[in-house]
Structure 1
């Protein structure tokens, strides 16, 4: 047992972990970080042991709405950078702010345990040390959500987290299960190599093109946000002009309004459907030997079934009760998706929102740093609010009640709430 009692432990060196390290350092708070991989970047480091990106992966939000404000991406970076450019960006961010030396790379965090004195024991790399606080920033897209499909299959069933390159499926018949952003991207990737590609869809989606009027779609409305119903009305009609009706291509009609679930930012899927390069299939009823039976009673033969069924939250080094969570479905019940019931434990990056970008994660980190630096009375007032009713972070949108939407927020409502708490803590500190 060693002691680092005055330091803060940061778990993860992806975007949220780097944001945590930067905010702590900027506020004069001593920290040490732990990262399983041998470099920064999180999932955008395709060589990392837990990276789930594939060779053709790019941002689905534009660089200008995603980058850290104080560290813009280099001139000449494409509107939608690849994983290679993003890994280089995070390496540059770590080097620019001197963060790299603070991380212990190639180190697994095995346990984070509270102590009776209010501090935390962290076991990592075979050594246990005591820390003032712990910031958990190990990401939300590393632990595959693998459904159990009834029946048996003689081919290969794999999750999209194991998908790297389409050449591995050359000449094969592939069924992609799930039509979220990853499922659609992978289906588009596969059509150039596989013998046949189908995509199985349980529910309808809204499709947003990456470009509207020659500009990245998410840069067109960056002023004062419109009220939800007006924005949904206007944008839905604008999308019809650019993408048409996805039901025409075989997709079910959405059971929700635009922005009440994460839209699919991909117009190439409709392009390839229109060219007959792939087909939409209903939900899977069962696997059937050398094929799949669908809920409409049809059957088709496949060599591979690729599950683009998303990810689940995964904090294996923590007792879920410390996060107000049962450890299974849904999401931890944390104040502002950051602060749990036990003092000194914070989670960063457990948010999903259209357009929140990495700056939204950095603002989370600034709140953590402000909380750690605040005088006792200000911290007590914050902690009282954190133990009370949860603020409405929906911004007036009626998000679908699904596990994958359990930590979805409206970016404008969320950032206002986080900034207000940070300002209150800092104002109290100055007083």
Structure 2
């Protein structure tokens, strides 16, 4: 696997500036987070003329603490849940002196080094917000932006949407009954333990952020309660002294192989239900993995008290389904995010309950020229997948890759969507789930097939139009 190869990533840029080929389709990348950077770099190296618009002043998106773009959910203790070698782009490993699970500031520095190493920072327009993306004449797309130099509408042959899916907070809907006199925040607004210090805190949720916040509350809050409606298998980040995710499986193996690996990880980690959290009603591998090194000790020590679902809010107390009633002046709702595209008309693209079927999680067959980068929830890190998606789209735009017939695209899309619904329990959290190794293997296989189709079309005298 190329993701386990290390090299000196701090060398000078690997290439001289790459010229644009004006005869190629013109593209737009929305966002300069990890997925947008992967897409921009792929287009840059393919000589595709493109603009990348970023509403903030820096690259790195969700990994930048207090990002000026105003939508980062990064908090002080955040670190990656996938080990560095598995998270890094294939052609730009993380520094060898990084810890196995890098801190957010190290990840942000890595993305900055990535941009400068490949030399495409000048292709990113900062302080610019995309306000609308609409179909244009002749199969093009019209992109409206607002920024320091005013409002503009530009025409593109392709738009690569990389605005992320961890920025639009999803609150409980419907809201829990009762009235709460204290403060309520979403995990998206959490930054540090200073917000929890000396308070009676209830954290609601069972994902990685919920556990991280609960562990911190256990250190600094007057009281800390963790409320979960549904149990999860909580994996440790290390197994037998090494990062647990560095057991690499052949990509051609079906999902059961990854599920078996997760079951072993759950067995080695131990069931947190023994410490008072809800017993999971699904097998390991039937949900997105949750990892925490600190939650077990926080529960054992009594610094964090496990609670079931909330029944109602009652002034300065929270009442739980088992009848327990605890004082609270802060509720942190770690209840996930909505998939949304504020610049796209809902009549074009709408993710109902976060469900937006796409071919290979990238292409909407009804919207040619519109591509989604990083709109995946992998068992692993999104960065190498976004890299693969960006390179795939770049090859399509320069004409080296040709897709299969529309009927085959739709058949594959339906089959993949139905398979995912069978593999994972039904929730808004699992609408974009993919298996890291299998996804990369499958996309490489499709790319090879598309190269063959494109060559056959050239031989037959049929030019492919992206």
TM-score bucket of the superposed structures, by smaller chain: over 0.9
> Paired residue for 2:180?
153
> Paired residue for 2:195?
168
* Structure 2: gaps (5+ residues): 1-22, 457-466
> Paired residue for 1:329?
353
Cα contact 2:66–2:74 (8 A) shared by 1:
no
Cα contact 1:330–1:402 (8 A) shared by 2:
no
1:365 matches 2:390: yes
CA distance in 2, matches of 1:197, 1:247: 18
> Paired residue for 2:11?
none
1:381 matches 2:404: yes
CA distance in 2, matches of 1:321, 1:419: 32
| Superposition map of 1:225-244 within 5 A | 228-229=255-256, 232=259, 235-237=262-264, 239-240=266-267, 242-244=268-270
CA distance in 1, matches of 2:132, 2:215: 40
CA distance in 1, matches of 2:315, 2:279: 31
Structure 1 residue aligned with 2:226, among 199, 204, 219? 199
> Paired residue for 1:47?
66
> Paired residue for 1:36?
55
Cα contact 2:258–2:435 (8 A) shared by 1:
no
Label 1:157 to 1:356 Cα distance change in 2 as closer, same or farther (>3 A).
closer
**More displaced 10-residue stretch of structure 1: 389-398 or 278-287:** 389-398
**More displaced 10-residue stretch of structure 1: 295-304 or 32-41:** 295-304
- How far 1:228 sits from its partner (Å)? 4.8
> Paired residue for 1:79?
100
> Paired residue for 2:9?
none
Structure 2 residue aligned with 1:287, among 313, 332, 336? 313
- How far 1:30 sits from its partner (Å)? 1.0
Q: Deviations over 1:171-206 (max 9, x none)?
A: 111000002110001111122211111000010111
1:215 matches 2:238: no
- How far 1:336 sits from its partner (Å)? 1.1
SS of 2:348's partner is: helix
> Paired residue for 2:119?
98
Label 1:395 to 1:403 Cα distance change in 2 as closer, same or farther (>3 A).
closer
Structure 2 residue aligned with 1:352, among 377, 381, 386? 377
CA distance in 2, matches of 1:224, 1:214: 25
**More displaced 10-residue stretch of structure 1: 213-222 or 16-25:** 213-222
Label 1:224 to 1:138 Cα distance change in 2 as closer, same or farther (>3 A).
closer
**More displaced 10-residue stretch of structure 1: 384-393 or 270-279:** 384-393
**More displaced 10-residue stretch of structure 1: 221-230 or 5-14:** 221-230
Structure 1 residue aligned with 2:168, among 143, 149, 171? 143
CA distance in 1, matches of 2:292, 2:237: 6
Structure 2 residue aligned with 1:405, among 419, 430, 436? 430
> Paired residue for 1:117?
138
CA distance in 2, matches of 1:10, 1:231: 32
Cα contact 2:203–2:331 (8 A) shared by 1:
yes
| Superposition map of 1:225-304 within 5 A | 228-229=255-256, 232=259, 235-237=262-264, 239-240=266-267, 242-304=268-330
Aligned residues: 424
SS of 1:392's partner is: helix
**More displaced 10-residue stretch of structure 1: 413-422 or 90-99:** 413-422
Label 1:282 to 1:339 Cα distance change in 2 as closer, same or farther (>3 A).
same
Cα contact 2:24–2:398 (8 A) shared by 1:
no
| Superposition map of 1:62-77 within 5 A | 62-77=83-98
CA distance in 1, matches of 2:269, 2:355: 33
> Paired residue for 1:424?
449
- How far 1:294 sits from its partner (Å)? 1.0
CA distance in 2, matches of 1:75, 1:419: 27
CA distance in 2, matches of 1:83, 1:165: 13
- How far 1:58 sits from its partner (Å)? 0.2
Label 1:27 to 1:238 Cα distance change in 2 as closer, same or farther (>3 A).
closer
**More displaced 10-residue stretch of structure 1: 245-254 or 269-278:** 245-254
Cα contact 1:196–1:277 (8 A) shared by 2:
yes
Structure 1 residue aligned with 2:345, among 289, 306, 319? 319
> Paired residue for 1:190?
217
TM-score (norm 1): 0.93
Label 1:395 to 1:293 Cα distance change in 2 as closer, same or farther (>3 A).
closer
- How far 1:263 sits from its partner (Å)? 2.0
Structure 2 residue aligned with 1:306, among 311, 324, 332? 332
CA distance in 2, matches of 1:234, 1:40: 34
